[in-house]
Copies of this chain bind each other. A is one copy, B any other.
């Protein structure tokens, strides 16, 4: 990451900024979802991307841990106004004081959202992300199959590698 030209250069047109990937899922995640998130975090960092998340445990912590292991940047948008509530793998905590309303900010902050499992909170984030033109990749999360004609819609990935490749590809 440190070798990345983007981190050294002065002027940063949008396209030159590191890509920001939101990784969303439960704060109390299953072991298998945490393992997926960890791998997603590593692969995002390997590509020079920034992991953006809610900064707490479960899927959020696993993604940050993976990214930090590879020297990546991790941003945690916290529900509290207290940076010490961030998991220990968040490099840049952003305490918002907004409670779960901060969920909106997580998906706004990123160019792509990768949803891993998740329940109603993840569903609300997915809906907001799609509504705002963010690409959404689903790894065992909601598919919105109830509305087959809805566009845009979540893209299904079967593995962390596929999810991250979809997140970094230039064509959805």
Contact = CB atoms under 8 A, between A and B. Distances in A.
Contacts of A124: 123-125, 127-128, 131
A144 B75 CA distance: 31
A147 B75 CA distance: 31
Interface residues of A, number: 62
A127 B123 CA distance: 6
Q: How many copies does the complex hold?
A: 4
Interface stretch (A8-16, A27-35, A160-168): A8-16
Contacts of A147: 142
A109 B86 CA distance: 12
Nearest to A125: B124
Contacts of A100: 97, 104, 128, 131
